Amino acid sequence: MTDDLETEYPQPAESPGLMLWRVTNTWQRRVRAVLAPHGITHVQFVLLATLTWMDRDQPVTQRSLADHAGIDIMMTSQVVRVLEAKGYITRHAHPADRRAIILSPTPAGIDLANRANVDVEAVDRSYFSALGSTPKATFIHCLQQLNDAQTGT
Amino acid sequence: MTDDLETEYPQPAESPGLMLWRVTNTWQRRVRAVLAPHGITHVQFVLLATLTWMDRDQPVTQRSLADHAGIDIMMTSQVVRVLEAKGYITRHAHPADRRAIILSPTPAGIDLANRANVDVEAVDRSYFSALGSTPKATFIHCLQQLNDAQTGT
DNA sequence: TAAGATTGACTGCTCAATCTTA
DNA sequence: TAAGATTGAGCAGTCAATCTTA
């Protein structure tokens, strides 16, 4: 029939999905680079920072941390034990639910989360400054709409 | 010092990097799901579709395919041989440069690229329709600015 | 020296399946 | 039955190192 690709996009750069994927990959590389000196990976940072940020007056289970961080429960299970082994998180039995595990950041974990967060937020400012004249708020609004549509909000 | 996270974002959803990462992950899940019946992964599809789309009057080396697809050269090296094993691509010696390898899609590869592309473009239309009143062009423009800033354009 | 390509190792993300307890 | 957690397997993405040829 054809020996070419029949597409609605004259150029790949006009495909929103493809561009989204490329941009995320370059952003991830930047984040990974600034986290490396701290000795943690991106997912480890997100979970540790989210746990530190969350209100811990109520017990935080792995399930609730996973939901807040937007990371799936299997990944959370694995990474949380890595963070425990590194001394940044403690895992204790839930007093009322014997299936559940309560998570708390250690003082070292809270300290690391804050030090690493300074560098990550600096990367974000630098990376997204390329938006130039387009208000950053417009871009974030787009992302929030797309995210909400998936999470059923 | 503190037992909380000191951040410039009152809510995680206001962090552009975090939202970018979440949105890409959900988009990737959707794409993976529609490609599964075709028996190929996302990266395999991107490389096969890019090769099919590229002008092949000039010999296409792995390096040039990797550059056009925005995929790193090691990943390209691995996946291209998978595509060859599946019968979607042929690899031949470059006539003038004995280091290089010339890639061509087979008729089966061209056919698969076109069939799969229909489904992937349908996912994109569906997924990004959530942008609602915000023009999709605005979102793509943001992504292009971010991408160009990284590639030195 | 540089460029095209490859290998091995490690983390990330997902899926299917399982185990235990509510 | 459902919910919290875990394990194992497979593909994705990156890095360091290597090999061959320009």
Answer for A145: CB within 7 Å of strand D.
Answer: no
pLDDT value of residue B56: 79
What is the band of B147 on the pLDDT scale with cuts at 50, 70, 90? very high
User: Which residues in chain A are closer than 8 Å to B109, comparing Cβ atoms?
Assistant: none
Q: How far apart are CA A112 and CA A94, in angstroms?
A: 25
Give pLDDT < 50 ranges for chain A. none
Distances in Å between the Cα of A54 and the Cα atoms of A46, A120, B24, B123 are 12, 18, 24, 34
pLDDT value of residue A55: 77
pLDDT value of residue B144: 95
Q: Are B17 and A26 in contact (CB under 8 A)?
A: no
pLDDT value of residue B88: 98
Among B20, B128, B141, beta carbon nearest to A27: B20
What is the band of B153 on the pLDDT scale with cuts at 50, 70, 90? low
What is the mean predicted confidence (pLDDT) over B40-69? Answer: 95
Q: How far apart are CA B95 and CA A73, in angstroms?
A: 52
Q: How far apart are CA B43 and CA B80, in angstroms?
A: 10
Tokens 């008729």 belong to which residue?
A: B107
pLDDT of B152 above 80: no
pLDDT value of residue B115: 97
Q: Which of B3, B7, B31, B104 to mutate to test the interface with A (most CBs of A within 10 A)?
A: B7
What is the mean predicted confidence (pLDDT) over B69-84? Answer: 97
pLDDT value of residue B33: 96
Q: Do B124 and A6 touch (CB under 8 A)?
A: no
Q: pLDDT tens, A61-81?
A: 999 999 999 999 999 999 999
- Nearby residues of B45 by Cβ (< 8 Å), 6 or more positions away: B35, B38, B113, B116, B117, B120
Q: pLDDT tens, B15-48?
A: 999 999 999 999 999 999 999 999 999 999 999 9
Q: Name the token pair of A24.
A: 């995320």
Q: How far apart are CA A88 and CA A74, in angstroms?
A: 19
Q: pLDDT tens, B82-133?
A: 999 999 999 999 999 999 999 999 999 999 999 999 999 999 999 999 997 7
Q: What angle do CA B99, B100, B106 make, to 5 degrees?
A: 145
Q: Is B132 left (phi over 0), alpha (psi -120 to 50) or beta?
A: left
Q: Are A112 and A46 in contact (CB under 8 A)?
A: no
Q: To the nearest whole number, what is the mean pLDDT of chain B? A: 94
Q: Cite the DSSP H helix spans in chain B.
A: 16-35, 42-53, 62-69, 73-85, 107-128, 136-151
What is the band of B1 on the pLDDT scale with cuts at 50, 70, 90? low
Q: Is B152 left (phi over 0), alpha (psi -120 to 50) or beta?
A: left
Chain A residue with the nearest C-alpha to that of B149:
A130
Q: How far apart are CA A65 and CA A70, in angstroms?
A: 8
Q: Name the token pair of A100.
A: 């559940």
Q: Which of B1, B34, B146 to mutate to test the interface with A (most CBs of A within 10 A)?
A: B146
pLDDT value of residue A134: 72
